[in-house]
């Protein structure tokens, strides 16, 4: 094994650890609603999420390219920059998970981590507007389109089906929610799953293993499986927060939220826009809950989630900045 590959292995391991945390704390958002409405058991939902997330990760590489080439200038950073960014993600997401099962945005954590570590390595010129403009577009997609989509779909269904019997509604949308949850899991893989694939490929380029940024199939498979394992092992606190604590959901509500979020995420993926899947499904659930009455959403829980989103950028950026400085000092 080449000597430079030995030095790269710890960095690749840290990236996979961050991908595992992504599956542990973020991917459960894709199945939270279908578990909370009891349409699927937790084990069935986890299996479905693992498989569909993997398929979604294979559906394209546009988001991976944005993360790997568009956030920080690859020509002025090194593998320790990438490792420091991953450490920021692992620390912040694990803290939020253990502190109260608060879902964090791995997307925001990732770009903030890359920015913080990149600034420590090469200064402000390391940031690339092309990728950051897509991140800003992603914020609009996840916040407004998620909420409006959930609100709109649920309002339309209520008007069309207001005379239907509750038992029939639950039965029909219980079946439909299996498909909407599958769509949500697939779209999660097509966007969130690709982000760490992009980082892993970037590390291979920086480490001299790949001559240019071109995502290998084995990298997609390795990262997708790692994320799936993380989802299978953990994530129940996130499912409880998103599917139970935020608002009370019936199958029709879960169907509306998943359909809205899945469509927004899939649209963003096709344009290479990295967006927060946590943010998108959260705002979709809020939109759905608000159709019953504004107070149906537990805004205290929503406030905890929003606070975590706001803190993610500065906290992950700072941790990654300090980690990059510490690593460069010792190595």
Tokens representing residue 237 in the block: 């606190």
- CB distance 63 to 195 below 8 Å: yes
Q: Which alpha helices (H) appear in 125-214, and where do they start and end?
A: 129-140, 146-160, 166-206
The DSSP bridge partners found for residue 72 are: 127
Three-state SS at 65: helix
Name the DSSP letter for residue 127.
B
What's the CA gap between 307 and 311, in Å, rounded? 6
What's the CA gap between 97 and 319, in Å, rounded? 17
pLDDT tens sequence for the chain (331 residues): 444 666 799 999 999 999 988 877 766 666 777 777 777 877 787 788 778 888 888 888 899 999 999 999 999 999 999 999 999 999 988 887 777 666 677 788 899 999 999 999 999 999 999 899 999 898 888 888 989 999 999 999 988 887 888 788 888 998 898 899 899 889 988 888 888 999 999 999 998 899 989 889 999 889 888 887 887 776 666 666 555 555 567 788 889 988 999 999 999 999 999 988 878 888 888 888 778 665 555 656 667 667 777 888 899 999 999 999 998 877 6
Of 231, 174, 176, 242, the residue nearest 36 (C-alpha): 242
Non-local (6+) Cβ contacts of 263 within 8 A are: 149, 187
pTM of the complete model: 0.85
- CB distance 45 to 38 below 8 Å: no
Q: What is the residue extent of each domain of the chain?
A: 3-34+41-326
């Amino acid at each position: 094994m080449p000597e430079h590959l030995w030095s790269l292995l710890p960095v690749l391991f840290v990236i996979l650890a961050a991908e595992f945390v992504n599956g542990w704390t973020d991917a459960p958002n894709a199945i939270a609603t279908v578990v909370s409405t009891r349409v699927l058991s937790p084990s069935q939902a986890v299996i479905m999420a693992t498989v569909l997330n993997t398929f979604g990760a294979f559906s394209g590489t546009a988001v991976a390219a944005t993360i790997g080439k568009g956030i920080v200038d690859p020509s002025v950073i090194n593998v320790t920059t990438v490792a420091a960014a991953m450490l920021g993600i692992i620390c912040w997401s694990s803290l939020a998970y253990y502190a109260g099962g608060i879902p964090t945005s791995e997307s925001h954590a990732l770009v903030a981590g890359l920015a913080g570590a990149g600034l420590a390595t090469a200064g402000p010129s390391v940031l690339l507007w092309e990728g950051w403009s897509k991140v800003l577009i992603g914020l609009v997609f996840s916040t407004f389109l998620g909420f409006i989509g959930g609100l709109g779909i649920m309002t339309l269904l209520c008007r069309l089906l207001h005379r239907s019997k509750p038992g029939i509604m639950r039965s029909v949308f219980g079946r439909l929610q299996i498909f909407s949850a599958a769509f949500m899991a697939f779209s999660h893989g097509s966007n969130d799953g690709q982000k760490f694939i992009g980082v892993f490929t970037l590390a291979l380029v920086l480490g001299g293993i790949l001559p240019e940024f071109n995502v290998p199939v084995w990298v997609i498979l390795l990262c997708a499986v790692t994320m799936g394992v993380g989802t299978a092992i953990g994530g129940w606190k996130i499912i409880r927060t998103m599917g139970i604590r935020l608002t009370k959901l019936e199958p029709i509500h879960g169907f509306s939220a998943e359909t809205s979020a899945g469509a927004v995420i899939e649209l963003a993926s096709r344009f290479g826009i990295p967006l927060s899947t946590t943010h998108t499904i959260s705002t979709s659930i809020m939109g759905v809950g608000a159709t019953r009455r504004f107070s149906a959403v537990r805004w205290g829980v929503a406030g905890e989630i929003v606070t975590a989103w706001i803190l993610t950028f500065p906290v992950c950026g700072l941790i990654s900045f300090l980690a990059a400085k510490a690593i460069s000092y010792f190595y």
